[in-house]
Amino acid sequence: MALQPRKRFGQHYLLDRGVIQEIIHAIQPRPEETLVEIGPGLGALTLPLLRCVPHLSVIELDRDLVAHWRQHPLAARLTLYEGDALGFDYARLGERFRLVGNLPYNISTPLLFHLADFDAHIVDAHFMLQKEVVQRMVATPGEPAYGRLSLMLQLRFHMTLLLEVPPQAFEPPPKVDSAVVRLIPRPLEERLALFAPCTGPATGDFLKSREQALERVVTQAFSQRRKMLRSTLKGLVGEDRLRHLDIDPTRRAETLTLAEFIRLAQTLR
């Protein structure tokens, strides 16, 4: 029986061979690498990847697709993890690995934040996502798509929009355009440098506390993105403090750079 895409899993099977070839070319898989695919589906990327590497790990939630891959002629070259990518412990995949996937659009944002917790293990990631989400990820200050997602992911990753993909490349066609994005984690030393000069030991725990402070400021600043900072940050960062940091209180959150948000976060205890 043919496997049908399931709406509840946000499944849209990639069929366009030209797009698939471009994605594989962007990934440049090498035999000695550990590759992990999130959501192999019917194998649009899985099978071309297996022509480049001897082994592939895949994470799949759909029981019918799990059964499909367990019975597949290439099953011996797959390590199949049955489960939800949102709750998966990616550290179990090894010290260093590369990620790839046509991610379900309905869970893409929480999945990206979950993956950020494992950035020390990730060499890079190539994901197909809703084009609007990718535009938000790579947006810069002043652009309409710029917001919390942009800042919190740019803190952890260098990101590049590689390829735009029309709905016709999928079955069934989604109602939105798609795009392929590359994510490369920032090294720990680089992330620590973003918060320098700082008062505190340059450790992972210190970095985590500073990033939590940054998320608090960013979330509150964008809670009402059309209002001025003196209103949105009221009770968190006062006008006098904003002026002391050379940030005009009449500016809006969408105009601040990551460095400016970090300066604001540094004032929180």
CATH number at residue 223: 1.10.8.100
Q: What's the pLDDT at 12?
A: 73
The total of structural domains in the chain comes to 2
- Report yes or no on 59 lying in a domain: yes
Distance in angstroms (rounded) separating the CA atoms of residues 74 and 55: 10
pTM recorded for the entire structure: 0.91
Local confidence band at 198 (pLDDT 50, 70, 90 cut-offs): low
Mean pLDDT of 127-141: 97
Percent of the chain residues topping a pLDDT of 70: 93
Mean pLDDT of 205-228: 92
- Report yes or no on 121 lying in a domain: yes
Local confidence band at 7 (pLDDT 50, 70, 90 cut-offs): very low
Per residue in 65-86, pLDDT (tens digit) is 999 999 999 999 999 999 999 9
Do 74 and 148 lie in one domain? The reply is: yes
Mean pLDDT of 194-223: 82
Do 95 and 200 lie in one domain? The reply is: no
- Report yes or no on 1 lying in a domain: no
Please determine, for residue 232, whether its predicted confidence score (pLDDT) is greater than 60: yes
Mean pLDDT of 38-48: 95
Q: Structural domain of residue 234, as residue ranges?
A: 190-265
**CATH number of residue 149's parent domain:** 3.40.50.150
- Report yes or no on 246 lying in a domain: yes
Do 58 and 181 lie in one domain? The reply is: yes
Percent of the chain residues topping a pLDDT of 90: 81
Per residue in 11-29, pLDDT (tens digit) is 578 999 999 999 999 999 9
Please determine, for residue 104, whether its predicted confidence score (pLDDT) is greater than 60: yes
Do 38 and 116 lie in one domain? The reply is: yes
Do 132 and 213 lie in one domain? The reply is: no
